[in-house]
Structure formats: C-alpha cells, structure tokens
Chain A
Amino acid sequence: MGEAAAKRDRMSADAARAAVGALVAELGPSPPPGRLRDVLRTSLDDPALEVGYWLPDLPGFVDIEGRPFDPATAETATYVNGAYGRIGVLTHRAVAPSEGVLLEGIVAAARLVLENERLHAESRSRLMELQQRRFFTDLIVDNAPVYFAVVDAEGVLTGGINDTLLEVLGIPKTENVRDRYYWDVVCLAEDEEEARARLGLVATGRALGVQETRIRSADGTPRVVEWRDTILPDERGQLKWIVRAGLDVTERIMREAELRRLADEQAALRRVATAVAEQASLSELVRTVAREVGELFGGHTAAVVRAEGTGIRIVDGWAAPGSRLIGAGRFVELHGVETVTATAMQTRSPQRLTDVDDERSRRLWDELEIDSAIAAPVIVDGEVWGAINATRSAVVEPFPAGAEKGLADMASLVALALANAAAREDLNASRARIVQAGDEARRKLERNLHDGAQQRLVSLSIALRLADTQLDKSPEATRALLQTASEDLAGALAELRELARGLHPAVLTDRGLGPALQVLADRAPIPVEVDNHLEERLPDAVEAAAYYVVSEALANVAKHAEASFVEVRLHRVDGTAFVEVIDDGVGGAVASAGSGLRGLADRVEALGGRLRVAGAAGGGTRVAAEIPCR
C-alpha cells in the first residue's frame, strides 16, 4: 500500500467510526419502528434509501408496515445477514469504493436495530394477512347462499346474522340485531318455543343434528330452513357462541312436492287410462275420474259434468270426507254466471278461478265453502261434451301450479273414453241395423215370392188341373184356360227376373259398375248422366256398395228431390273409390233420416268407407261415398 492510499484508508476509517457513532447516538436505546431508515438516510446521505426485512415464511422481503418489498428495483442492494442468515436488505444509491468501509460499518451497527424492526414488520405483515383473511371470510359469510346466525348461550344474537339472512328476513343491514333474541328476529311466532328448546339442547351439547324449521320472510311466506349448529367455546373451553348455519330448502321441498304431485298425477292418469282401455262403463269411468281428480289435487269436491242447454248436469261427483257435494243428476244453470266450468267450456281450455264476482256464484261458493276452483273441458269429436272440475275449501292452500293442466290430461282421457264408447255404440247399432236390414230384405223377398210368382204358379197349377178335367167335355174352355195359364207363367217369369235383378243385378256381375249404373240411369224417370272415370273393375263388394248407393240415391231423387237433372260421378284415387250423386232438386236430406240412406251408410262403413250427404234446403243434394278398395 502506498503512502497516499494508507492515508486515505485511515481517513475513511475515521469517517466511518464517526458516522457509526453518530448513528448509534441518533437511534438511541429503543428507537421507534421505522426510525432506522431515517437515520440511515442521514448517515449515508441518501434520501432514497429503503430498508427491507427478510421474512422467509411470509412474502419474502417486506417494508416496516409488513407490505411486500422488492429490492430488485433499486440501484444497489446491500443484503444484511444476522447470526442465522439473512435478515434484511438496504437499497441505496451506488457507493464509491472509498465509502465501502463506511457502508460496512453502518450495516454492522444497524444490524441489531434491523433485527428488532424485522419483528415489528413481521407482526404488521401477519396482521395484514389476518385482516385480509377476515375480510375474505366476511365476504363469504355475507354472500354465501347460506344463512348464518351466531347466538350466545341465552339465545341472544350477539354474533349477529349474515347479510343473506338479513335480506330474506327483510331487515336493513344498518339495523342492529345483536341485542335481540334469535327467535324474535328469525323464527315464526308459532315456532318460538321449539327454537328455544332446540338452542337449549345445543348449548348443553345434547342436539347437534340437522333441524328443519320455518323462518319469517320479507314477503310473508314462510321459508323452510335446515339448520346445522356448531358450538364455539371461549378460551376456558366454556360455550361462547352457537353458530347456526342454515340451508334454505324451501325450493327443494316445493320441487319434491311438485315431483310427488307429478308422479301421483301420472299414476292417476295411468289408472284412468287403464279403465278406459278396459272399456269400463261410462258411469264407472266417470266415478273413477271424479275420485282420482279429487284425491290427486287434494280437492274438496270433484265432478264430471255434461253440457246441457244453457247449463250443465252433474254426471257424477266425489267429495272429500266431511265435504258437501252437489248431487249427481242435478242441473245447474250457467246462464249469466261466470263459473270456472262455464269459462273452461266456452274457451275450450283449462281454467282456474280463485274468486267470484257475481252474487249467485258467491252465495254458492259460500254455501259449499269453496275458495278456489279449476276446470278443464271434455271435447269429443270437436264438440264440447262437458267438463271436469274440482274445488278447494278455504282451509287448504289454493290448487298447486299446473293443476288445471293435469285436469286437462284427465279430461282428454275421458274424451277418449267417450269417443270410444260412442264408436262402440255406433258400431253395435250399425251391426244391428245390418242384421235387421238383412232380415227385412229376406222377409220382403219371401213376401214378394209368395205374393207374386208363387201365386201365379198356384193359379197356373189349378188351371192346368181344371183343363185336365175339362179337356174332353169342353175344348174351347180348355183352350181359354191354357191361354190364361200361359199368361200367368209369363207373368211369373217376369216377376222372378225382377226379383233376381233386385237381389243382385247380373249386369253388375258381368260387366261392372259403369254399365250397371248406365242401366239404372236409363231406367230412371229423370235425366241421369253417368260420368265414369274408372279404368278397371273394382272389388266385388265395393262395386255392389257403390251400385246400391247410386240406386238408392236415384230412387230418393225420384221420390223426394223434385230434380230435373242428376249427375253420377265415378272415379278412383289411389286405393279409394269415389261415387257421387248430385241433383239439382230441393235438397235438405240427411243421412240419418231415411233408413235407406242409413242402411247405405252402414254398408259403406262396413267396408271402411264413409257416406256423406250434403245439401241445404233449396240447393240440391250431393250424396258422396268414399270406399277403400281393399
């Protein structure tokens, strides 16, 4: 080392000693937290100097307030180690090599104070973290979809209740509930005793399961809550708080009830559908439906009614035990009253009514203790047949949502059963008519044979016997007898031919529908034009049915229509034959009126076809048959 350098070192060592002395004096025996930084700034003449404290199990370096501190952003960082490793860092401007000794001295002197301040920074940092955790917890507690209530051993809400519960209860956040009893704030009045007892048991550790209770809510409807209780002891292990965490299960319970109701509804529909499929009698079915509807919807009464004139007639009804029922068979006038049944039938849609306006209905509701009603129309073949209705009394809740839709499903089944029954009835009637018509035709045939050909043949037989006895005595008289006999024979033959043609026209068998209808047209007393678009023969049964449709229609035209012209049209589209007889007469015929048309309809329907007769009075008549060619 040269002389000059040695001198410089001595000078800097002196300066360092002076600076450290000043630093120690400045800090004093117990410097307040953060004081070190200010003193170091003065000692090193660096106003931007910062001190970081090493907290290895926390964020790393922190400042004196415990906030994260990043030494990497500074111009120079001087790390400070203690007996067991790193304890801090100084960030400062760059120092000249001549100041190295000074810096070392100051860092050594500051080490103890830095160690102390590091404890302070650590406690600040931990506090900050706790605060954050607290804030986070509060946030969760107040925003969780769970109710929290914290009560002491006496049931006072000393720990308060969370925002979620406050909101449901309709209590402003600003309102203090901490000196009030839990049951006064949260419970329904009638549940107060139960809540007291429960909290008493929880406080003594005898009940910690789940408890389901109702709470009052801002909109007045009670909500169902499942509570779980946790005991929070104090430092001595004594009960300090009971934390009640409540899950609102109102919607779940409603959904479960709704699912149960839907399942019940499906089961009831199945039972009714089974009754329909088993072709139960109408009265049996109606009774089943009324009972199912009543029981399903927890009704007071249920009834199946049939539209009749300006009112309805009760077909059958059901009443809950102790309820009054309007008896089956009774007629109820609906003119001028707005009942749910009348509205359902008018609008052809399910309806619900929770109040009535007019005096008469009000009296009826009061008399029958009705508080709400639902109804659904029964529509058969597009016509309103009647309705199903159900009522509830004031003592139970109104009908559940969608009850009227369920009722409509039930009404559809009733409609199906009615349509089936009507179809069965029609079919049976049609069968009976076909049998009757066959019998009648045979009777007529026997009578015609007996009165016609048979009589002529009897006379012929007598005449021949007479001729035999007279042949020798009187040849002239015998010749006259034989002449008469010959005429009788010719007459008998003509009548037999006519009868045979009536049974089944030979031309139809031999040459088909078109030529057969042409024969009918030629023999008709009024002009008939046959417009035949058939390209090939139809099945025998279809030809016969079509022939008789035209034959009967032409006979009717001749008898009743006063027509001047008739057109017969024949054509086939895909697998269906269409036959139409259109006249320009007086009109007004209906298929069910004359047994002739009815019989034809039966014949056509027996082949799976349809016969329609249209014609307003004065506008001519159109008889049209569609017959599938199977």
Chain B
Amino acid sequence: MTRILVVDDHASARRSIRALLEAAGYDVVGEAADGRSAVQQARDLLPDVVLLDIQLPDMNGFEVAARLAENGRRPRVVLTSSRAAEDYGELIDEAPAEGFLAKDELTGEALAELLTS
C-alpha cells in the first residue's frame, strides 16, 4: 500500500484529501500544515509519496520539494494546489517532482495514473 504524507495549510482540505485517498486505498501516514514540518515529517516517516500543496505559510511547495530532494531517501513528490497548473507555468516542470494535480482533479485514479506514468 502506497504511504502518503499530505501537506496543506488548510485543515479542512487535509481532512477531505485524507478521506478521499484512504477511500481510494492509500495509506495516509501523516499530515503537515507548513513547509518546515513537511520536511521534518518526510525525514521521520519516510513516506513513498508527498502530496504537496504549493501555497504554504512559511515557504512555497517548490522550495519544500527542493529540500526533500536533498534527503538520502527521497520521496516522490506530487504538487497540488487549488489554483490551476498554468498559474505556475514552468516552475512545475522544473521542480523535482512527479507532476501536478489540481485539487479539483484529485482522485485516487488520477494520482495512481500520475505515479505510474
């Protein structure tokens, strides 16, 4: 079962995403509300995937992804946002991540498809 860390500064969003992913058969191993705790939890929990919201209070998702890439065992990162991909342009392509899923497109199938592509 794929182990996932959900990073989002809105509690309601974290709650909804956890329910959606768990219903789709993922193992949500942890939640983080900001970039620092996301990096820390990734180090501690060693998730397979980090579902990473781009807009965070202390640093943005691209910076968090870069930090995660420095880890010895780096998790696969999927960027997400309530904004659309075109709002971020090339930043998404250049980030050390598997790809981007807008929150309104997030489903278990969409995530699986992105991770297997």
Contact = CB atoms under 8 A, between A and B. Distances in A.
A456 interface: yes
Interface in A460-475: 461-463, 465-466, 469-470
A469 B16 CA distance: 14
A363 to B, nearest CB: 65
B103 A469 contact: no
Interface in B97-112: 103-104, 106-108
Given A451-B10, A459-B12, A466 B103 contact: no
B116 to A, nearest CB: 19
B12 A456 contact: yes
Nearest to B19: A466
Contacts of A463: 16, 19
A462 B10 contact: no
B115 interface: no
B82 A454 contact: yes
Contacts of A465: 20, 106-107
Interface in B1-43: 10, 12-13, 15-17, 19-20, 23-24
Contacts of A461: 103-104
Contact of A462 (B55, B83, B103): B103
Contact of A450 (B12, B16, B24, B55): B55
The secondary structure that dominates the B interface is helix
Contacts of A595: none
B46 to A, nearest CB: 26
B16 A459 contact: yes
A488 interface: yes
Given A465-B107, A469-B24, A488-B12, A455 B19 contact: no
A462 B110 CA distance: 13
A488 to B, nearest CB: 7
A458 interface: yes
B61 to A, nearest CB: 14
Interface string B74-117: 00000000110000000000000000000110111000000000
B12 A469 contact: no
Interface string A457-497: 01101110110011000000000010000001000000000
B82 to A, nearest CB: 5
A442 to B, nearest CB: 15
A462 B111 CA distance: 13
Contacts of A481: 19
Contacts of A470: 23
Contacts of B104: 458, 461-462
Contacts of B108: 469
Contact of B13 (A458, A466, A469): A458
A455 B12 CA distance: 8
A462 B17 contact: yes
A458 B10 CA distance: 11
Interface string A518-552: 00000000000000000000000000000000000
Interface residues of A, number: 16
A455 B13 contact: yes
Contacts of B20: 462, 465-466
Given A458-B13, A458-B104, A462-B16, A469 B23 contact: yes
A466 B17 CA distance: 9
A161 B7 CA distance: 117
Interface in B38-61: 55
A455 B17 contact: no
B82 A450 contact: yes
A458 B103 contact: yes
Interface string A411-454: 00000000000000000000000000000000000000011001
Nearest to B110: A465
A462 B82 contact: no
A86 to B, nearest CB: 138
Nearest to A487: B12
B10 A466 contact: no
Contacts of A451: 10
A93 to B, nearest CB: 148
A466 B26 CA distance: 14
Contacts of A455: 10, 12-13, 82
A185 to B, nearest CB: 103
Nearest to B107: A465
B41 to A, nearest CB: 21
Given A450-B55, A465-B107, A469-B24, A458 B82 contact: yes
Contacts of B103: 458, 461-462
Interface in A95-126: none
A487 to B, nearest CB: 10
B107 A459 contact: no
A462 B23 contact: no
Contacts of B17: 462
A494 B72 CA distance: 46
A454 B13 CA distance: 11
Nearest to A455: B10
B13 A459 contact: yes
Contacts of A469: 23-24, 107-108
Contacts of B19: 462-463, 466, 481
- Between B55, B82, B108, the greatest number of chain A beta carbons within 10 A of the residue's beta carbon is seen for B82
Nearest to B17: A462
Contacts of A462: 13, 16-17, 19-20, 103-104, 106
In order of increasing CB-CB distance, the 4 nearest A-B pairs are A462-B16, A459-B16, A458-B103, A458-B82
16 contacts: A450-B55, A450-B82, A454-B82, A456-B12, A458-B13, A458-B16, A458-B82, A459-B10, A462-B16, A462-B17, A462-B104, A462-B106, A465-B20, A465-B106, A469-B108, A470-B23
Given A451-B10, A462-B20, A481-B19, 9 more contacts: A450-B55, A455-B12, A455-B13, A456-B12, A459-B16, A461-B103, A462-B16, A462-B17, A469-B24
Interface of B: 10, 12-13, 15-17, 19-20, 23-24, 55, 82-83, 103-104, 106-108
Interface of A: 450-451, 454-456, 458-459, 461-463, 465-466, 469-470, 481, 488
